[in-house]
């Protein structure tokens, strides 16, 4: 696990705060002469290794009449799913994403069948499963989403770290100013994630036959970290 923190601090020693949240994380402070307040902003980023890889694969047939394209697509579709199951991917981890029969030449009545799936697999098997899908007929393949089994737990971990950092820094600031930190007057937060996609498009790969494809090496794919960043804005009273 890797963590980084960034702290921004505003100290209001001449007045109190009537605080209202605006869009996003913007905070508007109205200062009067009745109270003293201290405001802190703290960020916490948490990064972990992925526990799941979601692989996107698909194919499209060559243009034929509608019936021929549908038949060819059905054969390829069944072949890809059968190969994935044979490789040990459970049926519950294979989900249809889209499928359509689309016109490519209205005058000649030419159509092609396009279909795609998402496949959940352990990160260490993603290159192997991509190779299985391409070998079975996938031609539009390679987007990979890296994630964890419990995203909420990762977000909570980042939020807890940001909250602790905010209170800790507020206490240090209050001590440095020679005052005592009072109760929280206002608090808000925001959690965001980083992009976790990887693209390895096999659509432009050209092989003479299936034997050549089977003999080709697998892609070298390194899993990406899954990250969440939490920001906490807190206003404390100064006693």
Q: For residue 58, name the pLDDT band (cuts at 50, 70, 90).
A: very high
Q: For residue 220, name the pLDDT band (cuts at 50, 70, 90).
A: confident
- Do residues 125 and 93 touch, judged by C-beta distance below 8 A? no
- DSSP letter, residue 236: E
Q: What is the mean pLDDT of residues 89-95?
A: 97
Residue 225 has pLDDT above 60, yes or no: yes
What pLDDT was estimated at residue 30? 58
| C-alpha–C-alpha distance, residues 158 and 134, integer Å | 38
- Walk me through the domains of the chain, giving residue ranges and CATH numbers: 2-47+151-193+228-238 (no CATH), 52-147 (3.30.70.2970)
Residue with tokens 């991509």: 130
What pLDDT was estimated at residue 81? 97
Predicted structure pTM score:
0.71
- Do residues 61 and 113 touch, judged by C-beta distance below 8 A? yes
Cβ within 8 Å of residue 181, ≥6 positions away: 38, 170, 171, 174, 175, 236, 237, 238, 239
Task: For residue 38, count CB atoms less than 10 angstroms from its CB and return exposed for 0-12, middle for 13-18, buried for 19 or more.
Answer: buried
- DSSP letter, residue 208: S
Q: How many CA atoms lie within 13 A of 131 on its CB side?
A: 16
Task: For residue 147, count CB atoms less than 10 angstroms from its CB and return exposed for 0-12, middle for 13-18, buried for 19 or more.
Answer: middle
Residue 68 has pLDDT above 90, yes or no: yes
Q: What is the mean pLDDT of residues 108-118?
A: 95
Residue 65 has pLDDT above 90, yes or no: yes
The arrangement of strands across the sheet holding 181-193 comes to: 2-12, 37-48, 226-238, 181-193
What pLDDT was estimated at residue 36? 84
């Amino acid at each position: 696990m890797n963590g980084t923190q960034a702290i921004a601090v505003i100290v209001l020693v001449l007045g109190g705060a009537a605080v209202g949240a605006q869009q996003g994380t913007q905070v508007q402070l109205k200062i009067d002469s009745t109270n003293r307040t201290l405001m802190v902003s703290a960020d916490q980023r948490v990064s972990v290794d992925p526990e799941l890889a979601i692989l996107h694969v698909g194919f499209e047939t060559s243009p034929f009449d509608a019936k021929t394209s549908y038949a060819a697509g059905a054969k390829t579709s069944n072949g890809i799913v059968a190969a994935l199951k044979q490789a040990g991917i459970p049926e519950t981890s294979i989900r249809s994403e889209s499928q359509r029969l689309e016109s490519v030449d209205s005058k000649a009545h030419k159509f092609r069948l396009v279909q795609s799936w998402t496949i959940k697999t352990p990160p260490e098997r993603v290159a192997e499963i991509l190779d299985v899908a391409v070998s079975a007929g996938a031609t539009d393949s390679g987007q990979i989403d890296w994630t964890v089994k419990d995203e909420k737990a990762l977000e909570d971990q980042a939020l807890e770290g940001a909250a602790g950092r905010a209170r800790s820094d507020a206490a240090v600031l209050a001590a440095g100013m020679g005052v005592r930190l009072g109760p929280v007057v206002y608090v808000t937060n925001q959690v965001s994630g980083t992009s976790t996609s990887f693209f390895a498009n096999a659509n432009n790969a050209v092989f003479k036959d299936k034997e050549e494809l089977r003999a080709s090496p697998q892609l070298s794919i390194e899993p990406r970290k899954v990250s969440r960043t939490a920001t906490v804005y807190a206003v404390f009273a100064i006693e």
